[in-house]
Chains A and B, each alone.
Chain A
């Protein structure tokens, strides 16, 4: 299937290679470099490139390209998925990869090794929900959806058999499972029943059906205008809390990709700090927390390249935020039960809501 793998950093050095069959020369990567040049932007390098003798399938992660060389038909997603797993592994242990024996393979439960032992037995679950939304100019929601995951950190001795139940499992519209979960139990009782892998892993990811109205926790008032035949424009945005369920919204960041003709920006902010990168034309405003008494705003002048026509489109605002102790969908874990082991584990659940791909069109 995969013939060879090359790791390439963003300056174009091949710094690692691995060959599963015969050795393929590094020169095969030239086709990749060619495509990379053509694409201009790293994100636009086509994931699949056809060369005279090989096919190159690549992913871009953490400023590295993982380029695999394929010779025969194989489902592209198979390779892409594999490369991402490789990348995950690199992230987790940047030390020696081949050091552990494949003991998991031999266990009855392939995802958990036998004989796990802890002095403190703990099971933590993080319910993380992200709001994906597109808000149009007038402030109405074009599209909104909640994507959630439950990440688990399980440090339990032996072979614990856990079942996690929810107060309102019907909320979950579309769920994908870690292979350890018993699909049948979920189907019939809406209970997550599983023998967990040891350590950190993603238990499920889910989508909350878009039929439900999604609460949008922030609003943005904006007025961005560029004057015709003048080298400046006005920029004014204010952020305020909306349906925030009485929780504090924190970690707010606004990122704006300004049009190319923008030279510089002279802004004043009532809260936080902003930076404008004149090369990439990215404005970043780090707001922090919202206090409803005094809404944070950012306003000032935009300097444009003189003589250039005014930009047609106002840039859209990408917003990040975080709300602790809240799952915006209202999902609640009911209880966690453990079977198969005698000790009493320490259990914990944490909820966080974040902005996912949250975009305000202006």
Chain B
């Protein structure tokens, strides 16, 4: 057979024991004969009609390929089977083709038509695998076919095929880079894809083909951020790394002007990505959203990226964690970078290769941000079983982390390390001690003493390393250490390591004035052994001789001349040169002259102390986590991490057109965008107690009837609104200030109650879907209304919670970009908290305002109205130590200093009921009395409305079947059959948002519980004769049951 000779090269290898597959034929005796036989039978097997034999043959062939054996001669026999019906055989043939098509291009072309057919197969798996193989065949002739196939697959209905198309792009690009422009078109198209399956792969293709086309990302930026958590791990790494670069080109550095952050009044208008993404389709946006130049405001898109990547720090994949860590390191404001430390420390438990990479990155980070890792100091302690390369990296980190306070512990650790058996590690430890000593002045002497003790160590390497480090340390303050230099001088008798000897000699020469008696003696000894010394030692002997000659020529003149003469005839020309040069410099001769007069200055000039610094310093100009950072050299294809721009590019480029259906359904709702202002308190808003925000608060408060000072979450008005709002602000600004100060005056309760009254009344008059308009009317008609009491919100400590809410909503569709909608109908009426009699003149009522509580979105916001009906002022009203059931938390209202007789005041407090209707009991204290009061929420107040589409609703409902579904039948009374009344009654009972609904007699409402954010879906199916069916779907079954009860009660009464 012609194929046979080609296999002779396998014989050697195949004799190995590790090749069981070859032993299929145990009967065959000799290696040679069996080899021939095998390939013969492979061909026969491939030619038969039996699939099982073909499969067997293909398995053996693929095994050969995996071993790196040449199987190219079987090409014709294999390629025939590409059309085989058996999918298993087919797959293996594909594997073979991918490997050998490049070598046998002509024959490979025969198989192309099969793949082309495969591309049209109804089964998506076959379509995908045909494309995969087609794109893996590196035959230039088929480039046009590949191009066509990729284009087609990019619009395939199966996301899996589209993903494969994305994979094929870099392959085609590497085969023929002329296709770039066409490929970029495909990439652009796939980037717009909304499925998580495709996202990672297409960004990968983007990175390989056109990483410079950052403009392609703009429109997809928000989508990528939002999809990120659902993308598979490999895709996450690629996307995060790409977005890091993107953010560096598009946003301003968060570290500039950090202090100004708080004072910015405008930032309230920059809000959640969601609102923007949806609401900002219009043209005016561009102008409105350009951030003011001076004070730094984090672009909401920048924030979005930080927020959406943070949960990935808890990924199980080390690569993802590292990717997020580098993103935070490069993009986050200083105060937020700390969160990555914990996750990185966790990775240190992983495989040693992971540790190696992570420690390299930690070493770089710990130089810039030492404080970040300080709490985890002990996690970097070294075990004797760690591999040396890990030990040395940990040592590096420990050294970087050492500071004034922890240095004693660190040094104690180092002491243990010095006794290690691993000498390379000991040497590194000694250097680390040296670095600690230079960095931390306080311990310099301690370190030096420790190192001097090491000089008596038995191991020469240890001693030598210590000498080198001591030399560097002494150079910093030589005067005080004559003793140590003497000690070192004695060592020259014993120590043999050239570097150490050279260091000692240099030290003695440099500081010979501190050891005037010993120095000449050392020179004498060295002169004796000069010829036997290493070169670096010889050079230092010459150096020493010269310096001594200059300072103490009486004693050393002869010695110096002797040494110089020896050096003159040395074998090494460097040494001969140095000797000649030195002689000319120091020995005055007739013609010498000018230079020798300055010899002393030349030799004994004060020399700057060496700086001991980490090799990881400044490595952060490479993107952390990258290969280039690890190697500390630019790797091929490394994309430089750009510097922050001076001025942010136009952020409006990231705005996306709103899908049709949301547009129309939101037209009216947009008007009530003030709501989302409060729906979420965000991280960067921080403590904002400035005059600016006060003013802004007053103004916003007036337009809403309730105010939240200091709260400036980044939820924007939709931009189209903003300009309108702006104009309004100008006029309002003039009116507001008077009211602003009056925060706790008696007017408050009046105004708030009047507002709530007007709200109540308007409820009945207005259509539910037009809530914002009436609200604005109220607010505009009473422009002098001042904010009811004002609770200076403590800086919202728990802020990341909103993140959770964002994550929950993530699905594969674009609908997530729709902002949450708050139910407009407000408030249960006033409830009594403290009766006039019981309160000795103090009357306290409360209402559920249904506004999100600013400090903590899990809290139900409760307005407490105080009025003093006694005839003495009540002083020091505050909440006393609450005794709360587990989980329930209270955010107290600020103390009301004094309430004059007849006056009223309102305060806002937040209660986290933990999704239960347990009462929150607490004490209401005045200066003289304490009253035990309790607030028990109706179940409907434990939730906040969410907006969703009908489809989403149905989808969510589908997930909450079975035990989570509660259904009840009821009869609607005659008075309660109009749409209007039903909606009003339901929303009055429970704080839910209405979901648009196709059929007329079905009503849907949706909300989430405040604490856990579980969905609560309510459906009311009204039949003609008043019969109706009420369904509640919720994970929280208790809440569901109670809600059904309450709603039925409300509807039937």
Could you list which residues of chain A lie within 8 angstroms of chain B, going by C-beta atoms?
Answer: 1, 9, 13-19, 21-23, 26, 41, 43-44, 46-48, 50, 55, 58-61, 70-78, 80-82, 84, 96, 98-99, 101-102, 105-106, 110, 132, 134, 136, 142-143, 145, 147, 173-179, 182-185, 187-189, 202, 205, 207, 210, 257, 259-260, 309, 311-313, 315-316, 318, 339-340, 342, 357, 359, 361
Q: Chain A residue with minimal CB distance to B639? A: A73
Instruction: Assess whether B384 is in contact with A77, with CB atoms less than 8 Å apart.
Output: no
Please indicate the chain B residues that have their CB under 8 angstroms from the CB of A188 in the complex: 801, 804, 858, 1011-1013
Q: Give Cα A43–Cα B413 distance, bound, in whole angstroms.
A: 23
* Interface bits B936-975 vs A (CB < 8 Å: 1, else 0): 0000000000000000000000010111100000000000
Given contacts A187-B311, A188-B1011, 10 further A-B contacts (CB under 8 A): A9-B18, A76-B625, A80-B354, A102-B125, A105-B160, A260-B421, A312-B419, A312-B459, A313-B420, A318-B385
Please indicate the chain B residues that have their CB under 8 angstroms from the CB of A176 in the complex: 314-316, 321, 343, 346
Please indicate the chain B residues that have their CB under 8 angstroms from the CB of A81 in the complex: 233, 317-319, 354
Q: Give Cα A361–Cα B232 distance, bound, in whole angstroms.
A: 43
Q: 8 Å CB contacts to A: which residues of B373-431?
A: 378-379, 381, 383-385, 387-389, 413, 416, 419-421
B607 on the A face (CB < 8 A): no
Given A142-B381, A176-B314, residue A106 in contact with residue B637 (CB < 8 A): no
Instruction: Assess whether A78 is in contact with B387, with CB atoms less than 8 Å apart.
Output: no
* Interface bits B85-107 vs A (CB < 8 Å: 1, else 0): 00010011001000100100000
Instruction: Assess whether A313 is in contact with B349, with CB atoms less than 8 Å apart.
Output: no
Q: Chain A residue with minimal CB distance to B622? A: A73
Given A82-B234, A105-B160, A106-B160, residue A44 in contact with residue B387 (CB < 8 A): yes
Q: Chain B residue with minimal CB distance to A7? A: B66
Q: How far is the CB of A355 from chain B (nearest CB, A)?
A: 13
Pairs of residues from A and B, 4 with the lowest C-beta to C-beta distance, nearest first: A72-B637, A43-B387, A313-B419, A47-B353
* Interface bits B1001-1019 vs A (CB < 8 Å: 1, else 0): 0000000000111000000
Q: 8 Å CB contacts to A: which residues of B598-646?
A: 625-628, 630-631, 633, 635-639
Q: How far is the CB of B423 from chain A (nearest CB, A)?
A: 10
Instruction: Assess whether B229 is in contact with A47, with CB atoms less than 8 Å apart.
Output: no
Sample 9 A-B pairs with CB under 8 A, ordered by A number: A15-B18, A48-B357, A75-B323, A77-B354, A106-B124, A176-B314, A189-B1012, A311-B421, A339-B962
Instruction: Assess whether A339 is in contact with B964, with CB atoms less than 8 Å apart.
Output: yes
Given A44-B389, A175-B314, residue A184 in contact with residue B807 (CB < 8 A): yes
Q: Give Cα A62–Cα B980 distance, bound, in whole angstroms.
A: 71
B24 on the A face (CB < 8 A): no
B356 on the A face (CB < 8 A): yes
Given A75-B322, A185-B1012, residue A202 in contact with residue B639 (CB < 8 A): no
Q: Give Cα A48–Cα B356 distance, bound, in whole angstroms.
A: 9
Q: How many residue-residue contacts, CB under 8 A, span A and B? A: 218
Q: Give Cα A70–Cα B381 distance, bound, in whole angstroms.
A: 33
Q: How far is the CB of A279 from chain B (nearest CB, A)?
A: 16
* Interface bits B777-797 vs A (CB < 8 Å: 1, else 0): 000000000000000000000
Instruction: Assess whether A13 is in contact with B387, with CB atoms less than 8 Å apart.
Output: no
Within the complex, which residue of B92, B318, B457, B963 is in contact with A80, where a contact is CB–CB below 8 Å?
A: B318
B352 on the A face (CB < 8 A): yes
Given A309-B458, A359-B385, residue A75 in contact with residue B241 (CB < 8 A): yes
Instruction: Assess whether B125 is in contact with A101, with CB atoms less than 8 Å apart.
Output: yes
Instruction: Assess whether B319 is in contact with A18, with CB atoms less than 8 Å apart.
Output: no
Q: Give Cα A80–Cα B234 distance, bound, in whole angstroms.
A: 12
Please indicate the chain A residues that have their CB under 8 angstroms from the CB of B626 in the complex: 73, 75-76
Instruction: Assess whether A75 is in contact with B138, with CB atoms less than 8 Å apart.
Output: no
B95, B628, B635 — most chain A CB neighbours (10 Å): B635
Please indicate the chain A residues that have their CB under 8 angstroms from the CB of B124 in the complex: 106
Please indicate the chain A residues that have their CB under 8 angstroms from the CB of B807 in the complex: 183-184
B237 on the A face (CB < 8 A): yes
Instruction: Assess whether B241 is in contact with A179, with CB atoms less than 8 Å apart.
Output: no
Please indicate the chain A residues that have their CB under 8 angstroms from the CB of B67 in the complex: 15-17
Q: How far is the CB of B238 from chain A (nearest CB, A)?
A: 8
Could you list which residues of chain B lie within 8 angstroms of chain A, going by C-beta atoms?
Answer: 16, 18, 59, 66-68, 88, 91-92, 95, 99, 102, 124-125, 138, 158, 160, 163, 171, 174, 197, 204, 208, 229, 232-234, 237, 241, 311, 314-319, 321-323, 342-343, 345-346, 349, 351-354, 356-358, 378-379, 381, 383-385, 387-389, 413, 416, 419-421, 457-459, 625-628, 630-631, 633, 635-639, 801, 803-805, 807-808, 858, 959, 961-964, 1011-1013, 1035
Given A134-B381, A339-B964, residue A72 in contact with residue B323 (CB < 8 A): no
Instruction: Assess whether B91 is in contact with A98, with CB atoms less than 8 Å apart.
Output: yes
Q: Chain B residue with minimal CB distance to A97? A: B66
Q: Chain A residue with minimal CB distance to B102? A: A22
Within the complex, which residue of B237, B314, B319, B384 is in contact with A183, where a contact is CB–CB below 8 Å?
A: B314
Q: Chain B residue with minimal CB distance to A15? A: B18
Q: How far is the CB of B1026 from chain A (nearest CB, A)?
A: 34
Please indicate the chain B residues that have their CB under 8 angstroms from the CB of A260 in the complex: 421
Please indicate the chain A residues that have their CB under 8 angstroms from the CB of B805 in the complex: 184
Please indicate the chain B residues that have their CB under 8 angstroms from the CB of A318 in the complex: 385
Q: Chain A residue with minimal CB distance to B229? A: A183
Within the complex, which residue of A14, A23, A84, A189 is in contact with B351, where a contact is CB–CB below 8 Å?
A: A84
Q: Give Cα A14–Cα B69 distance, bound, in whole angstroms.
A: 11
Q: Give Cα A189–Cα B138 distance, bound, in whole angstroms.
A: 53
Instruction: Assess whether A76 is in contact with B804, with CB atoms less than 8 Å apart.
Output: no
Please indicate the chain B residues that have their CB under 8 angstroms from the CB of A177 in the complex: 314-316
Instruction: Assess whether B384 is in contact with A257, with CB atoms less than 8 Å apart.
Output: yes
Please indicate the chain A residues that have their CB under 8 angstroms from the CB of B319 in the complex: 75, 77-78, 80-81
Instruction: Assess whether A59 is in contact with B315, with CB atoms less than 8 Å apart.
Output: no
Q: How far is the CB of B890 from chain A (nearest CB, A)?
A: 18
Please indicate the chain B residues that have their CB under 8 angstroms from the CB of A80 in the complex: 318-319, 351, 353-354, 357
Instruction: Assess whether B352 is in contact with A143, with CB atoms less than 8 Å apart.
Output: no
Q: Give Cα A74–Cα B639 distance, bound, in whole angstroms.
A: 10
Please indicate the chain A residues that have their CB under 8 angstroms from the CB of B808 in the complex: 182, 184
Q: How far is the CB of A175 from chain B (nearest CB, A)?
A: 6
Given A72-B636, A188-B1013, residue A359 in contact with residue B383 (CB < 8 A): yes
Within the complex, which residue of B208, B311, B356, B388 is in contact with A47, where a contact is CB–CB below 8 Å?
A: B356
Q: Give Cα A77–Cα B1013 distance, bound, in whole angstroms.
A: 35
Q: Chain A residue with minimal CB distance to B806? A: A184
Q: Chain B residue with minimal CB distance to A99? A: B88
Instruction: Assess whether A78 is in contact with B385, with CB atoms less than 8 Å apart.
Output: no
Q: Give Cα A1–Cα B174 distance, bound, in whole angstroms.
A: 12
Q: Give Cα A183–Cα B308 distance, bound, in whole angstroms.
A: 12
Please indicate the chain B residues that have their CB under 8 angstroms from the CB of A105 in the complex: 160, 163, 197
Q: Chain A residue with minimal CB distance to B349? A: A147
Instruction: Assess whether B962 is in contact with A184, with CB atoms less than 8 Å apart.
Output: no
Within the complex, which residue of B316, B384, B801 is in contact with A187, where a contact is CB–CB below 8 Å?
A: B801
Q: Give Cα A351–Cα B319 distance, bound, in whole angstroms.
A: 30
Q: Chain B residue with minimal CB distance to A342? A: B962
Q: Give Cα A200–Cα B59 distance, bound, in whole angstroms.
A: 28
Q: Give Cα A19–Cα B96 distance, bound, in whole angstroms.
A: 12
Q: Chain A residue with minimal CB distance to B1009? A: A188
Q: Give Cα A110–Cα B171 distance, bound, in whole angstroms.
A: 25
Please indicate the chain B residues that have their CB under 8 angstroms from the CB of A9 in the complex: 18
Please indicate the chain B residues that have their CB under 8 angstroms from the CB of A361 in the complex: 384, 416
Q: Chain B residue with minimal CB distance to A42? A: B387
Instruction: Assess whether A313 is in contact with B346, with CB atoms less than 8 Å apart.
Output: no
Within the complex, which residue of B323, B458, B627, B1012 is in contact with A73, where a contact is CB–CB below 8 Å?
A: B627
Instruction: Assess whether A142 is in contact with B378, with CB atoms less than 8 Å apart.
Output: yes
Please indicate the chain B residues that have their CB under 8 angstroms from the CB of A101 in the complex: 125
Please indicate the chain A residues that have their CB under 8 angstroms from the CB of B68 in the complex: 14, 17, 26
Q: Chain B residue with minimal CB distance to A202? A: B316
Q: Chain A residue with minimal CB distance to B624? A: A75
Q: How far is the CB of A31 from chain B (nearest CB, A)?
A: 14
Within the complex, which residue of A26, A59, A98, A143 is in contact with B381, where a contact is CB–CB below 8 Å?
A: A143
Within the complex, which residue of A61, A73, A202 is in contact with B628, where a contact is CB–CB below 8 Å?
A: A73
Q: Give Cα A102–Cα B233 distance, bound, in whole angstroms.
A: 16
Given A48-B630, A178-B316, A309-B458, residue A145 in contact with residue B379 (CB < 8 A): yes
Instruction: Assess whether A313 is in contact with B630, with CB atoms less than 8 Å apart.
Output: no
